[in-house]
A and B are shown apart, each in its own frame.
Chain A
Amino acid sequence: MNAPHPVLHPQTHLHKVALQSKEYKDNVNPFWCPGCGHHGVLTSLLRALSEVGVDPNFLVNISGIGCSSRLPYFVKSYKMHTLHGRAGPVATGAQLARPDLAIVVSGGDGDGFSIGGGHMPHLARKNVNVTYVLMDNHVYGLTKCQASPTSRREMKTVTTPYGGVEEPLDPVLYMLTYGASYVAQSYAANAKLTTRLIKEGMEHKGFAFINVLSHCPTFNEVDDAKSFKEASDEVTAEHDVTDLDAAMHVVNMATRAGRIPTGLLYKVERPTLDERMAELVQRVGGHADYDLKQIIDLSRP
């Protein structure tokens, strides 16, 4: 690859280049069904990468298991296709090991909030500097139509042939509660908004969570592209994104009215996990050449 020489951007700590969005597309064709919302999410992601200008050599896409977790294959970058639910902690390790890398996690609602649900609070509270794009289609698609933690209760799936018995959870409400420093929501068909939210999420210093409602034309007949669009209420310019109460209020009011709040819901700046770690190392005067014998001498009798 003959990429221009990367520049470490002082504001975002990212290695930058100038590339078209199509230049971020790897030469593997998406395996998703025709009409799947995930195609739209991928397009928005590629545009966002171009707008941010991140060097693909310093970009790592990390996913778990599921339809949406195939996304890294289609993006020109370093990438890891890991285990069901484990993309978050894998990304945490990679980010802490190499804070100069731009890391994008992608996955679905089952991957992130069912099997991987135990990791979500910790990505948020620790403020791990990664961008998490959750492609939320309210169904397990790769295993052919089972209820997910975001499925509507009445939805009929192969495991709920008479309709379900459980209430769904709301990913954005959880992430606000868990202390994520950037929480946003969009829907796949709104490429403009999705692109902006991913771009701003990548430029945000800290854990950025973007829930993208993504229609599954094959297994979810209830939540189609049209229904997401019609139910969407984008937050207005008056919404104070630094006010957690306001963000929770917007989400709760919308949910009660059967609406979907979209746009940037919450964004605050606080130290990231890798920054705190670097500060700790500095505080103890740590450096790679620290003489091990000084440590070993502590064990002399």
Chain B
Amino acid sequence: MTKHDLIIRIAGEGGEGIISAGDMITQACARAGLDVYTFKTFPAEIKGGYAMYQLRASSERLYNQGDSFDVLCAFNGEAYDLNHTRLQPGTVLVYDSPGGDFEPDIPEGVHAYPIPMTATAKDLKSPRAKNMVALGALSQLFDIPEASLREVIAAKFARKGDTVVQANLTAFAQGRALAAAQTKTDAYAVEHAKEKRDVVVMSGNHAIGLGALIAGLDFYSAYPITPATEIAQYVARHLPKRGGTLIQAEDEIASISQVVGASYAGKKAMTATSGPGLSLMSEMLGMAFMSETPCVVVDVQRGGPSTGLPTKHEQSDLFLAVHGSHGDAGRIVLAVESVQDCIGLTVQAFNLAEKYQVPVLLLSDGSLAFSTQTIPYPDPDSYQKVERKRWDGEGEYKRYAQTEDHISPMADPGTHGATHIATGLEHNELGMPNYTPANHEAMQAKRFGKLKDVVTDFPAAEIDGDGEAELGIIAWGSSIGVVREAVQRLRDEGRKVKGFYPKLLCPLPAGQFEAFGATCGRLLIPEVNYQGQLAHFVRAETSLRPESYTVCGGLPFTPGMIVRKVKEMLA
């Protein structure tokens, strides 16, 4: 298989400009028309600690962060120590030397380029421009578009004045010169783009914020939590421009309560959190289901249980998302694969909430939250937007009227003749408390009856591959992007493998799972959690008996891991 991509990992101490150097390469590659997919880890601490930015660039469409890096750019000894086992023969090491804090023994077959990053920045009297020296060296060595990078650097520092811009450009040029003076022994370079494309570069978190704006968000209640906070950050900046309201609440219970209050008052409302916050919201999610109040809750999953691994990746809130509330409390659960999905599925989440008058939970995860990706420019007018069904003013108003599709028209406060109560108590069609067996049965049937149509209303899960397969891989969330590449690689090697990529996880489209399973000899569900949460639901709700492949090391799968697992299974 021809290699179309280049993966560069920049690593060092937090605060040394690792993330901004990575971002600049990302921006420059995107400007040059390349597809970019980034993956970052940073410390839970504010200052210091290990920071890492990995970017994958290609002229082809990218679906994940890749297996490992081709190029490691190590800013310090710790970064080298943490990554040197991945320096396989043929990979490249660019490192701070002479003048850095370490001098590695170069492993056999590794192409090494010592660049005096710290020393050069010091000589130029701009010690904070160490990352610019590195950037210049990387640009020279791997043909990262120089003109684009210069533009990006100038734009980045424009606010700090021309002197700062020039100092950084000088450091950048110096980095290029230092690299040019060395003999290039490797063959890596970023590809040239095939065509100029109209794109944006966004992180998963910002894309969810944008999706909400496109959907017509009016009200957002925020409570800070890693790794979801950037959603609120984006919305706080842009929602007021649209005349909407973002408020920070005193806790997540207050956040979801405010959302339910705003939605009752007739507005499209949401909140976003991570696992600990979702745990706190559980009771009010039940109230939203009971009172049939539309709302959208985003859960950017992180490592758990409890405080867990706050900045790390995991897909372990599916049980909570599907079942987290007492009593039989229904909801709709969606999970995003990519930054592109973060826009589209957020719009869908609002549409489903409005149409079915239920809480809709949208699951994202820690790596997608901060992963920046190039996506086609999203045209806000191309998305369909759904509004809740409102009372037409005819006859007596019954808030919880039994109807054919189980959906009862809502009435905003201020509507004449439609005063009614939204209550968490079991109630009759008028909203009045009623605890009779017949009424409770009828109303639960109504509330769950609404959800029956969701499976057919929502686009069918994508099937990757045709005909019969030896093995089918079912993936959810950001693992889908990894599986896409694994399936392709396996197929290129002549294996009969298919993929199945559901985005709607509750209600589970069991029929679609069955149909897919019927075409596969064996089934595998890779998930980044300990218990195999999706596999559990599939075993419970279908006749399928998938095998589970679970990891929970705080990192996403790589395509190579899936390929190895499948080969092991089919050996």
Query: Does A associate with B in a complex?
Result: yes
B-binding residues in A (CB < 8 A): 1, 3, 15, 28, 56-58, 60, 62, 72-73, 76-83, 86, 88-98, 100-101, 118-119, 121-122, 273, 277, 280-281, 284-288, 290, 292-296, 299-301
Whether the pair B254, A299 counts as a contact (CB closer than 8 A) is no
Knowing A118-B251, A295-B213, the reply to whether A93 touches B269 (Cβ < 8 A) is yes
Could you say which of A76, A88, A98, A300 contacts B414, with CB atoms under 8 Å apart? A98
Which B residues, 351 to 382, have Cβ-Cβ distances below 8 Å to chain A? Answer: 374, 377-378, 380
- Determine the residue in chain A with the shortest Cβ distance to B283: A83
Alpha-carbon distance between A8 and B238 when the two chains are bound, in angstroms: 30
> In the assembled complex, how far is the CB of residue A56 from the closest CB belonging to chain B, in whole angstroms?
6
Whether the pair B261, A62 counts as a contact (CB closer than 8 A) is yes
Knowing A57-B413, A89-B254, A296-B378, the reply to whether A286 touches B261 (Cβ < 8 A) is no
B residues less than 8 Å from A94 (CB atoms): 261-262, 264-265, 413
- Determine the residue in chain A with the shortest Cβ distance to B221: A93
Alpha-carbon distance between A145 and B247 when the two chains are bound, in angstroms: 38
Whether the pair A82, B219 counts as a contact (CB closer than 8 A) is no
Alpha-carbon distance between A273 and B219 when the two chains are bound, in angstroms: 14
Whether the pair B250, A118 counts as a contact (CB closer than 8 A) is yes
B residues less than 8 Å from A81 (CB atoms): 421-425
> In the assembled complex, how far is the CB of residue A124 from the closest CB belonging to chain B, in whole angstroms?
11
A residues less than 8 Å from B26 (CB atoms): 301
Q: 4 closest A-B pairs (Cβ-Cβ)?
A: A93-B261, A93-B258, A301-B30, A89-B257
Residue B253 at the A interface, CB < 8 A? yes
Whether the pair A86, B284 counts as a contact (CB closer than 8 A) is yes
Whether the pair A57, B422 counts as a contact (CB closer than 8 A) is no
Residue B49 at the A interface, CB < 8 A? no
Knowing A1-B419, A80-B261, A96-B247, the reply to whether A57 touches B284 (Cβ < 8 A) is no
Whether the pair A300, B199 counts as a contact (CB closer than 8 A) is yes
B residues less than 8 Å from A57 (CB atoms): 413-417, 419
- Determine the residue in chain B with the shortest Cβ distance to A287: B243
Whether the pair B258, A89 counts as a contact (CB closer than 8 A) is yes
Whether the pair B419, A288 counts as a contact (CB closer than 8 A) is no
- Determine the residue in chain A with the shortest Cβ distance to B201: A301
Whether the pair A97, B423 counts as a contact (CB closer than 8 A) is no
A residues less than 8 Å from B291 (CB atoms): 80
B residues less than 8 Å from A73 (CB atoms): 421, 432-433
B residues less than 8 Å from A86 (CB atoms): 253-254, 257, 284
Per-residue interface assignment for chain B, residues 489 to 523, with 1 indicating a CB less than 8 Å from any chain A CB and 0 otherwise = 00000000000000000000000000000000000
B residues less than 8 Å from A83 (CB atoms): 257, 283-284, 287, 424
Residue B138 at the A interface, CB < 8 A? no
Besides the known contacts A93-B219, A97-B218, A301-B201, 17 further A-B residue pairs in the complex with CB atoms under 8 A apart: A57-B413, A57-B415, A80-B422, A80-B423, A81-B423, A83-B257, A83-B424, A89-B253, A90-B257, A93-B258, A95-B261, A98-B267, A119-B254, A295-B213, A301-B30, A301-B152, A301-B199
Residue B27 at the A interface, CB < 8 A? yes
B residues less than 8 Å from A101 (CB atoms): 265, 413-414
Residue B214 at the A interface, CB < 8 A? yes
- Determine the residue in chain B with the shortest Cβ distance to A280: B240
Alpha-carbon distance between A73 and B423 when the two chains are bound, in angstroms: 10
Could you say which of B27, B28, B262, B419 contacts A56, with CB atoms under 8 Å apart? B419
Can you report 13 A-B residue pairs in the complex whose CB atoms are below 8 A from each other? A1-B416, A1-B419, A57-B417, A60-B264, A81-B421, A81-B423, A89-B250, A92-B258, A96-B219, A97-B262, A121-B250, A281-B240, A281-B245
Knowing A79-B422, A286-B243, the reply to whether A299 touches B200 (Cβ < 8 A) is yes
Q: How many residues of B contact A (CB 8 A)?
A: 66
> In the assembled complex, how far is the CB of residue A251 from the closest CB belonging to chain B, in whole angstroms?
25
- Determine the residue in chain B with the shortest Cβ distance to A86: B257
Residue B259 at the A interface, CB < 8 A? yes
A residues less than 8 Å from B263 (CB atoms): 93, 97
Per-residue interface assignment for chain B, residues 192 to 205, with 1 indicating a CB less than 8 Å from any chain A CB and 0 otherwise = 00000001111000
Which B residues, 235 to 261, have Cβ-Cβ distances below 8 Å to chain A? Answer: 238, 240-245, 247, 249-251, 253-255, 257-261
Whether the pair B417, A299 counts as a contact (CB closer than 8 A) is no
Per-residue interface assignment for chain B, residues 146 to 167, with 1 indicating a CB less than 8 Å from any chain A CB and 0 otherwise = 0000001000000000000000
- Determine the residue in chain B with the shortest Cβ distance to A120: B250
- Determine the residue in chain A with the shortest Cβ distance to B27: A301
B residues less than 8 Å from A97 (CB atoms): 218-219, 245, 261-263, 265-267, 269
A residues less than 8 Å from B221 (CB atoms): 93
Whether the pair A77, B266 counts as a contact (CB closer than 8 A) is no
> In the assembled complex, how far is the CB of residue B327 from the closest CB belonging to chain A, in whole angstroms?
13
> In the assembled complex, how far is the CB of residue A27 from the closest CB belonging to chain B, in whole angstroms?
10
- Determine the residue in chain B with the shortest Cβ distance to A61: B421
> In the assembled complex, how far is the CB of residue B179 from the closest CB belonging to chain A, in whole angstroms?
24
> In the assembled complex, how far is the CB of residue A32 from the closest CB belonging to chain B, in whole angstroms?
14
Could you say which of B253, B378, B419 contacts A78, with CB atoms under 8 Å apart? B419
> In the assembled complex, how far is the CB of residue A200 from the closest CB belonging to chain B, in whole angstroms?
23
> In the assembled complex, how far is the CB of residue B566 from the closest CB belonging to chain A, in whole angstroms?
36
Knowing A97-B261, A101-B414, A300-B199, the reply to whether A290 touches B422 (Cβ < 8 A) is no
Knowing A82-B424, A83-B283, the reply to whether A290 touches B243 (Cβ < 8 A) is yes
- Determine the residue in chain A with the shortest Cβ distance to B36: A301
Could you say which of A78, A93, A295, A299 contacts B260, with CB atoms under 8 Å apart? A93
Could you say which of A91, A284, A299 contacts B206, with CB atoms under 8 Å apart? A299
> In the assembled complex, how far is the CB of residue B550 from the closest CB belonging to chain A, in whole angstroms?
35
Could you say which of B240, B253, B425 contacts A286, with CB atoms under 8 Å apart? B240
B residues less than 8 Å from A56 (CB atoms): 419
Most buried by B among A91, A92, A93, A287: A93
Could you say which of A78, A82, A295 contacts B241, with CB atoms under 8 Å apart? A295
Alpha-carbon distance between A295 and B206 when the two chains are bound, in angstroms: 11
Could you say which of A95, A294, A299 contacts B202, with CB atoms under 8 Å apart? A299
Whether the pair A285, B419 counts as a contact (CB closer than 8 A) is no
A residues less than 8 Å from B378 (CB atoms): 296
> In the assembled complex, how far is the CB of residue B473 from the closest CB belonging to chain A, in whole angstroms?
32
Residue B482 at the A interface, CB < 8 A? no
> In the assembled complex, how far is the CB of residue A147 from the closest CB belonging to chain B, in whole angstroms?
23
Could you say which of A92, A118, A286, A292 contacts B380, with CB atoms under 8 Å apart? A292
> In the assembled complex, how far is the CB of residue B545 from the closest CB belonging to chain A, in whole angstroms?
40
- Determine the residue in chain A with the shortest Cβ distance to B423: A81
Could you say which of A88, A96, A286 contacts B242, with CB atoms under 8 Å apart? A286
Knowing A82-B424, A285-B241, A296-B377, the reply to whether A90 touches B419 (Cβ < 8 A) is no
> In the assembled complex, how far is the CB of residue B131 from the closest CB belonging to chain A, in whole angstroms?
19
> In the assembled complex, how far is the CB of residue A8 from the closest CB belonging to chain B, in whole angstroms?
11
Residue B210 at the A interface, CB < 8 A? yes
